[in-house]
Structure 1
Amino acid sequence: MTRAPQPASARPTSRDVARAAGVSQATVSLVLGDKWRGRVSEATAVRVRHAADGLGYLPNLAARQLRLGRTRTALLVVPALTNEFFARVYTGAAAVAAEHGFGVVLYPSPDGVGPARDPFASARASLDGVIASSMAAGALDALRGADLPLIMLDSDPADTSAAARVGLDIADGMRQVADHLLALGHRRFVHLAADIDSWTFTARARALRDAVGAVPGTRVRTVGAALDVHAGREAAQRALTAAGPRPTAVVCDDDVLAAGACKTARRLGLRVPDDLSVTGFGDLALATAVEPELTTVRLSAEQVGERGMAALLAVLDGRPAQPGSLPVHLVARGSSASPPENAERV
């Protein structure tokens, strides 16, 4: 049954909750502020919450924020609002934030390189902390100057300026791609590399180069491209029509680039995967919308957002954030197969 809104004068107060639960107002504040552990028994905490629910008590958030010196707002900085991965990161962060009475403001910084300007007259006065996903190190200088807790997602482990980091095992993802294609028999590769100077793409390039280079008789040609289908198509066109033996596998930094590579293959009369294998990275919705469906690396974007918001809450409460990197997984689909026995030039 939905409780009807009460006029302000009739709304129960924390004193009413304290009286109903048989505790002090300070105890009510500790329990409803989720700071009771180690100070109040679990039975008392349950009794306070039951009393608050029974009375329909709603805390005065404005007053509470003034008391705590908090706005209960986090800023999530991402390279692009149109990328599905970052939308999913936001979904995960917002879900955890809502459970703790926080809101999340989404803010773009061009291509993750920046600079990301302070989005408010004073970020410190408007925010409790910043979560930054897949950003270059120098892109956040203005926000670092706001002296707010900074949580970095999918970023350089060597960057020690953040209060906490939530990592993805990006290098292992690219190693899984390389191992998959090498096991199928591929030896000539093109790497369609995102033309963005950030750690996450540098890590992919290094892992691919190391994994393929460890096998004799292999070669990798790298071609840079902006992160869109048109750029991926043009980069693949250059790579597949260049002089020399044609590559048998195109390894892409993103599913969007892989979609562009598949379009080029069709235009050149190549069949995917019979004549050319194509792999992506990210497992976006696009990966199963193309035909054949893309072999790609699944990144747990929602979990990244959840862990990022949880890390910020931990830092704000003076607790250690959960350590460790999140695993990534190769998803083998129809766009990869053994190379043709005689890969002739187009």
Structure 2
Amino acid sequence: MTSRSAARPTSRDVAQLAGVSQSTVSLVLAGKWAGRVSAATAETVQEAAARLGYRPNQAARSLRLGRTRTVLLVLPTLSSPFFGALYTGAARVAAEHGFRIVVYPWPDGSGPADSPFAAPQEAIDGLLASSMAVEALSEFAGTPVVMLDSDPAGAAPTVDFDVADGMRRVARHVLGLGHRYVGHVAAGVDEWTFRSRGRALVETVVAAGGRLTRAATAIDVAAARDAAAGLLDRPERPTVLVCDDDQIAAGAYKAARTLGLEVPADVSITGFDDILLATALEPELTTVRLPAEELGAVGMATLLDLLEGGSPPSRSLPGELVVRGSTAPPP
């Protein structure tokens, strides 16, 4: 017989018995698991809860999940479609759990991020921050934080993309077509994601006996056009331009056409991210598809796990190489 003094079972106890995360327990016991976890997992959680005699304490849950049920999403820009999709995924999961998201743009290189609130600890329960260093968030010290598309070596839980693998896929694709002289139109932004892409490209091309030249640019079509033109307007030019971003690739298209070159007959071009622009270009762009909406959703679920007292691990989401008409064998 269970003693009245025995400790009340918690959602963590249910999670441990069922072999799932606390966020999964919350979804199942709130009846919001359909389409997010399997029926078998839901049944396992329900059986574990019944076995332990667990009943959700809604008052305690509200306290544990925070005071305001508000999360601050810090982004480097609002102009990129990528971050719009990221917000969509995060907002969807937040709404399913009764949270709201406040979006706060903080451009890269602007120094530590100031809070838009007089007292951030009283205004928000947690923080999602994308594409920046955790050190930039010193103003929010003590606030639970999950980093998105950021250096996984940081102290905070991180949900990122395996961008190095994505770039290796691009490099193997163009090398497999026969290209041996690669031009890298690189984002001139000192961020973990672009450093990782550059290293993976260099290592793969060099290992295959190819050679590589590089030009840095802002993530801007006009700037990328000028950078790409510098690589193409020379007696011996690269036969393929590998671009760090789809907007950069659009600039490379402009440079090629300005110089009278056809894509891909004279020069192949690749991008990265697979935003809507990739299929608006003609020919459509070979690129790496990064699931930005999934990044936001998984990031928000990870933050909820953290707010519930869990210790969520960092995660890396795979990208997908999408081969379209912008790549062909070299002339």
TM-score exceeds 0.5: yes
Distance 1:299 1:207, change over 3 A: same
- TM-score normalized by the length of structure 2: 0.81
Q: Quick one: which of 309, 333, 337 aligns to 2:324?
A: 333
Q: How many Å apart are 1:298 and its aligned residue?
A: 0.3
Q: Does 1:214 find its partner at 2:207?
A: yes
Q: Give me the whole-angstrom Cα distance separating, in 1, the residues matched to 2:284 and 2:316.
A: 28
Farther off after superposition, 104-113 or 313-322: 104-113
Q: Which whole-Å deviations, capped at 9, do the CAs of 1:305-344 have from their partners, x for residues lacking one?
A: 011000000001112325531111100000001000xxxx
> Which residue of structure 2 aligns with residue 17 of structure 1?
none
2:269–2:286 Cα contact (<8 Å) kept: yes
1:112–1:135 Cα contact (<8 Å) kept: no
Larger Rg: 1
1:192–1:257 Cα contact (<8 Å) kept: yes
Q: Give me the whole-angstrom Cα distance separating, in 1, the residues matched to 2:196 and 2:310.
A: 30
> Which residue of structure 1 aligns with residue 42 of structure 2?
none
Q: Superposed, which structure 2 residues align to 1:100-249 within 5 Å?
A: 100-111=97-108, 114-143=111-140, 145=141, 147-160=142-155, 162=156, 164-216=157-209, 218-242=210-234, 244-249=235-240
Q: Which whole-Å deviations, capped at 9, do the CAs of 1:258-313 have from their partners, x for residues lacking one?
A: 00100110110000000000000000000000100000000011110011000000
Q: Give me the whole-angstrom Cα distance separating, in 2, the residues matched to 1:179 and 1:69.
A: 47
1:113–1:135 Cα contact (<8 Å) kept: no
SS in 1 for 2:101: strand
Q: Give me the whole-angstrom Cα distance separating, in 2, the residues matched to 1:317 and 1:33.
A: 18
Q: Give me the whole-angstrom Cα distance separating, in 1, the residues matched to 2:218 and 2:46.
A: 50
**Aligned-partner residue type, residue 153 of structure 1:** L
1:113–1:136 Cα contact (<8 Å) kept: no
Pairwise CA RMSD = 2.7
> Which residue of structure 2 aligns with residue 85 of structure 1?
82
Unaligned runs of 5+ in 1: 1-30, 49-58, 341-346
Distance 1:172 1:93, change over 3 A: same
Q: Superposed, which structure 2 residues align to 1:46-85 within 5 Å?
A: 69-85=66-82
Unaligned runs of 5+ in 2: 1-28, 33-44
Q: Give me the whole-angstrom Cα distance separating, in 2, the residues matched to 1:268 and 1:138.
A: 44
Q: Give me the whole-angstrom Cα distance separating, in 1, the residues matched to 2:65 and 2:275.
A: 40
SS in 1 for 2:312: coil
Q: How many residues align?
A: 289
1:72–1:127 Cα contact (<8 Å) kept: yes
Farther off after superposition, 119-128 or 329-338: 119-128
Q: Does 1:306 find its partner at 2:303?
A: no
Q: Give me the whole-angstrom Cα distance separating, in 1, the residues matched to 2:158 and 2:125.
A: 17
Q: Quick one: which of 244, 247, 260 aligns to 2:251?
A: 260
Q: Give me the whole-angstrom Cα distance separating, in 2, the residues matched to 1:203 and 1:176.
A: 13
Identity fraction in percent: 54
**Aligned-partner residue type, residue 231 of structure 2:** A
